[in-house]
Amino acid sequence: MSVRHVVFAVAPGLVLLDACGPLEAFWRAELTMAASDSAAATPSSTPTSTRPVAYRTTVASIEGGVLQTFPGLPVVTERLDSLDAEPIDTLIVPGIPVDENCTLQPELVAWIRRNAPRARRVCSVCTGAFYLAAAGLLDGRRATTHWRDAPHLARRFPNVQVDADPIFIRDASLDRARSEGEGEGVVWTSAGVTAGIDLALALIEEDLGHAVAMQAARRLVVFMKRPGGQSQFSAALAAQASAGGPFEALHSWMAAHLRDDLSVERLAERARMTPRTFARRYVDEVGRTPARTVSALRLEAASRALAESRRPLKRIALECGFGSEQNLRRAFVRRFGVLPLDYRERFMSAVAPPSASGAHAMVDAGYQAR
């Protein structure tokens, strides 16, 4: 198996987790592949556990040497120009703290612009998208970044189609142009900070398959289940954005009573308001209608149930307030573009077997380091 060289091109002020999260994911995949390679070796074969079998990673900066990071922990980097003669499979640009007046390192922008064409794929984590945009790699593409910085990215680079919602975006819209020597091919961008782990797991799955990526996710004690089109915020987290407001207690109650009647009239009664006053104040306070919050909470609960258990669709539909399997299917197709069982097949963690009583056990393997 050929070794894939993954280069992290980092700037001063690097947000450390933007780099070390994906680095850890690649290393966990490497451990999985090395263990598999070692187990498959025969007594007469050459041991392979001491050499990379999947990825080689390099963290490099313009000047090389010690680089200060945003949390303050220094990291040692290679010089980027020392890699000019080396093949690069995957180029990843992690983020830095940005504001309206931030200055991007021009030498790094130039290096990315010059070297991106020779990488099989180019990626950014969080505000690393600003560097890809400055290098012209995101012109005409969909891209994401940290939700807080998405408006700034859109203002600064109007040719980029900024989408603040997804965890990550794989944009292959210019593949044909690249094959004809006219532009870049596949470009990945991810949302803020820990979304870089989601991105790395998706890259690993593309390279080595679902099983290896799932094992890496389990070693990291994270779920490999967030699709690229899913919101950066969970529905519960979005609801909690109004914490301290008049609907904080109501949101907690809604999340615990998804199978109940959550009509505007019922919610208004719970909030001790008239339906008209409640609907108006809710939109003013939360920024969306009560019905949209209910729908998002139910979809999120159903998504978790599908990814973490083998409970039948009928039971999930009832528990999450959809009423019927048909309603559940319609909601999934409308929101995710896939049927519930397709979602389960793609994003399910390792599932515990049913108990002796026949009840479906919730998955806990995803919480255990392997």
CA 16, CA 25: separation in Å to the nearest integer? 14
Amino acid of residue 338: V
Residue 18's contacts (CB-CB under 8 Å, 6 or more residues apart) are: 94, 95, 125, 126, 128, 193, 196
CA 19, CA 5: separation in Å to the nearest integer? 15
CA 156, CA 58: separation in Å to the nearest integer? 30
Catalytic residue check, 126 = yes
Q: Which of 20, 123, 126, 320 is catalytic?
A: 126
3-state SS of the chain?
A: CCCEEEEEECCCCECHHHHHHHHHHHHHHHHHHHHHHHHHCCCCCCCCCCCCCCEEEEEEECCCEEECECCCCCEEEEEHHHHCCCCCCEEEECCCCCCCCCCCCHHHHHHHHHHHHHCCEEEECCCHHHHHHHCCCCCCCEECCCCCCHHHHHHHCCCCEECCCECEEEECCCHHHHHCCCCCCEEEEECCCCHHHHHHHHHHHHHHCHHHHHHHHHHCCCCCCCCCCCECCCHHHHHHCCCCCCCHHHHHHHHHCCCCCCCHHHHHHHHCCCHHHHHHHHHHHHCCCHHHHHHHHHHHHHHHHHHHCCCCHHHHHHHCCCCCHHHHHHHHHHHHCCCHHHHHHHHCCCCCCCCCCCCCCCCCHHHCCC
Amino acid of residue 1: M
CA 130, CA 142: separation in Å to the nearest integer? 13
Q: Which residues are catalytic?
A: 126
